[in-house]
Structure formats: C-alpha cells, structure tokens
Amino acid sequence: MLTTAVRRDRYVVDWIAESGRFTLSQLRVGQKAILRHFARGFAEDAPAFEGLSLRDDAAGGPVLADALAYLDAAVVGHLDSGDHRILLARIVAADLLHPEGEPMLHVRRNGFHY
C-alpha cells in the first residue's frame, strides 16, 4: 500500500479520479532537473512529458525511462484535506529500472512553503 498527497488544484487529481490509477517514478540522485520540471505544475493541455524518454510498462501512466524505479498503483480510497487530496493506493506492479542508481531524497526545510 502507498499513501500520497496531490494538490487538489492540479488537473492530475481529476485524471487519477477518472482512471483510479497512477504511476510514480522514483528519481535517482542527479535528476533534480526532472523534479523541478514537474514540481511547477502544468496547464491541462501542456505537454508535460515532452522531451523525456518514456516507457509504457504501467497501466497508471507513463514511466520515466531514466528513473530508478516505478510503482504502478490502483486507488482504493481518498480523503480531501485542505488543499490536497490524500490517496491510498494498492501497488499492482513495480520495477527497478536502474539497479546501479541511488534514490533521490528531497527534504524540505519546512512544511510551510514548497
């Protein structure tokens, strides 16, 4: 099982609600540019994955081919809290794509700004 939170004003929340699935790509050390690329958000019609190498291994969405690993998840429940939707999901598939890599860890200085 996996719990994650997604800002409710991001259109991806609607995509997840409609499909009941999502895929998380675990980035490797040295891939901070990809983190920044997705952190800023996108308009619904913007090509968010343009220029990135993708795999279509997962039913929940595209997998970043250069990621360390991915988790394909099926939503089993959610809770709307403040400006986020908290998703509870069951992992239905996963793969380690680059076993030689180290997982990136992003720690915020505080929870008031990101």
Q: Where are the domains of the chain?
A: 2-96
Q: What is the pTM of this model?
A: 0.84
Q: Is domain 2-96 annotated with CATH 3.40.50.12280? A: no
Give pLDDT tens digits for 2-50: 999 999 988 889 989 999 999 999 999 999 999 888 887 777 788 888 8
Phi-psi group of 74: left, alpha or beta (phi > 0 → left; psi -120 to 50 → alpha; rest → beta): beta
- Would you say 76 and 90 are in contact if contact means Cβ atoms under 8 Å apart? yes
Distance (Å, whole) CA 22 – CA 45 = 18
